[in-house]
Structure 1
Amino acid sequence: MDAFLQTLHDLVVEHRLLVCAILALVTLLEALLLVGVLIPIMAVMLTAGALIATGSLHPVEVVVWCSIGAAAGDAISYLIGQRIGAKAVRHPAVAKHRRTVARARLYTRRYGVLALLVARYLGPLRPFVPMAAGMSRMRDWTFHAANTVTAPLWVVSVLAPGYLAARNLGYWKPDPQWLTALAVGGLLLVATVAVVRAAPFKVQPSKA
């Protein structure tokens, strides 16, 4: 068992840039319209924070990669909103979220740039706010400046709880390999949940 844990720990350390790239992809997808609601991003970032605390991942690398992913995802949603404008609410894929889109547009008009930061913590409303900013014709430089600044702030804030929790466990001196195994296991569990949530649920008709 110790050999397996050591191998797992070494694997994460050796391929830490690949892990960071995956985290960047996850943060990008989380910011996209309709896709983002399927990503349990808080669980992913808590796990990443724990991996930083074990020394398996480098904090600067994780913050940079995740910030790039989050900013890119918001930029894509913004460009989508800018491109399709108010017609978005008539699109079949968005029509059932019409009320959410309306809330996002109202929120963006009321709070402006501040909405881009706060929206990152608003769960289901989060992917719709950048799109609403594009629909409301927020200036490009204003959006991208705010997006670039708020992305790393959000990343650090959501990594911190997992990092601090793992560091506090360190006072009891658990083996870092065990902590890495728990973090990786949590990440795999999160990925499984995301796949299950994304899969269409079909009810089989009962046979008479």
Structure 2
Amino acid sequence: MDAFLQSLHSLVVEHRLLVCAILAVITLLEALMLVGVLIPIMAVMLTAGALIATGSLHPVEVIVWCSVGAALGDAISYLMGRHMGAWAVRHPVLAKHRRTVARARLYTRRYGVLALAVARYLGPLRPFVPMAAGMTRMRDWTFHAANTVTAPVWVITVLAPGYLAARHLGYWKPDPVLLTAVIVGVLLLVATVALVRRPKAQPSKA
């Protein structure tokens, strides 16, 4: 088992750009409405921060890839909201989330650009705010400027706790077995949470 984990760790180190690309996809999906609430992004980013501290991943590569993913995800949600407009709240897919969408719209109207920055840390409300910005017709340049600036700020702040913990806790050493076990554990956690949170099919009415 140790040999397998060490081989897997070596694979991660040798293909760190692929790992960064996977992180980018995760941050993109986390920014999308409905999909985003299924992803325990903090667990993923804490692990990425720890891997940066131990030298397994390069900080600049992780920050750039994750920032691009987060910004693209928000941009997609914004464009969806702009295309759908107010009709979005009546869409069957969003039927169970009308209150959340209404809160996101109110939040966006009240706080504007600040809402985009703060919403990145607001859990379930987070993926709906960019869509609400599109629904409320926030100017394109305003949204994209705020999105471009706030994405890397968010990435750095959510990577920091894992990085600092790995730097200052003695048992966090660049040990191949430990690092790979953490990666595998987080991936299993992500898959498990996604399955648990997956909405159950409604029984069809006769």
- Alignment gaps of 5+ in structure 2: none
* Distance change in 2, residues 1:173/1:30 (3 Å): closer
* Distance change in 2, residues 1:144/1:175 (3 Å): closer
Give the structure-1-normalised TM-score.
0.90
Alignment deviations for residues 49-98 of structure 1 (CA, whole Å, 9 cap, x no partner)? 11111211111000000000000000000000000100000000112111
* Distance change in 2, residues 1:179/1:164 (3 Å): farther
Give the structure-2-normalised TM-score.
0.91
Amino acid at match of 1:81: G
The whole-number CA distance in structure 2 between the counterparts of 1:5 and 1:145 is 42
User: 3-state DSSP class of the match of 1:184?
Assistant: helix
Asked if 1 retains the 8 angstrom alpha-carbon contact of 2:38 and 2:198, the reply is no
User: 3-state DSSP class of the match of 2:120?
Assistant: helix
Asked if 2 retains the 8 angstrom alpha-carbon contact of 1:44 and 1:190, the reply is no
Q: CA deviation at 1:201?
A: 4.2
In the TM superposition, what are the counterparts of 1:169-208 in structure 2 within 5 Å? 169=169, 171-172=170-171, 174-197=173-196, 199-201=198-200
- Count matched residues: 203
Asked if 2 retains the 8 angstrom alpha-carbon contact of 1:29 and 1:73, the reply is yes
Q: CA deviation at 1:182?
A: 3.4
Q: CA deviation at 1:199?
A: 4.3
The whole-number CA distance in structure 2 between the counterparts of 1:40 and 1:178 is 23
* Distance change in 2, residues 1:110/1:52 (3 Å): same
Are 1:80 and 2:84 an aligned pair? no
* Distance change in 2, residues 1:83/1:18 (3 Å): same
* Distance change in 2, residues 1:175/1:134 (3 Å): closer
Asked if 1 retains the 8 angstrom alpha-carbon contact of 2:166 and 2:172, the reply is no
In the TM superposition, what are the counterparts of 1:112-127 in structure 2 within 5 Å? 112-127=112-127
The whole-number CA distance in structure 2 between the counterparts of 1:39 and 1:63 is 19
In the TM superposition, what are the counterparts of 1:32-181 in structure 2 within 5 Å? 32-169=32-169, 171-172=170-171, 174-181=173-180
* Distance change in 2, residues 1:44/1:135 (3 Å): same
The whole-number CA distance in structure 1 between the counterparts of 2:183 and 2:88 is 38
Identity among equivalent positions (%) equals 76
The whole-number CA distance in structure 2 between the counterparts of 1:132 and 1:173 is 41
- Alignment gaps of 5+ in structure 1: 204-208
Asked if 2 retains the 8 angstrom alpha-carbon contact of 1:31 and 1:126, the reply is yes
The whole-number CA distance in structure 2 between the counterparts of 1:72 and 1:175 is 32
RMSD: 1.9
Q: CA deviation at 1:191?
A: 2.8
Matched residue, 1:24: 24
